[in-house]
Amino acid sequence: MTYDRLVCANCASPVSEGRCPVCRANRERMQQESPLAGLNPMMLIALLAVLVAAVALLAHQTV
Ligand SMILES: [Zn+2]
């Protein structure tokens, strides 16, 4: 999602210019919503646990 063309409801100027606190808050929030930022450590650990459980289940079934 690009925010270059997004217009602020508060100051009616492009959010990317950051002219008011609402713009700056929106800009910061959208910059933090990158795919890498969404992967927090807890989610990685949960994902790893699911993967280990799936492998264990698979190994158990084949034996
Ligand atoms: Zn604004």
Task: Give the model confidence (pLDDT) of 13-44 as tens digits.
Answer: 999 899 999 999 988 888 776 656 556 788 88
Give the SS3 label for residue 19: coil
In the chain, % helix, strand, coil (3-state, to 5) comes to 65, 5, 30
Distance 2 CA to ligand 1 centre (A): 16
Domain that holds residue 54: 3-62
- Predicted confidence at residue 16, as pLDDT, reads 86
Distance 30 CA to ligand 1 centre (A): 14
Distance 53 CA to ligand 1 centre (A): 47
pLDDT band at 3, cuts 50/70/90?
low
Q: How many separate domains does the chain show?
A: 1
pLDDT band at 46, cuts 50/70/90?
very high
The radius of gyration computed from the CA coordinates of the chain, to the nearest angstrom, equals 21
Q: What's the token pair of residue 14?
A: 């492009």
Distance 31 CA to ligand 1 centre (A): 16
Bigger pLDDT: 5 vs 17: 17
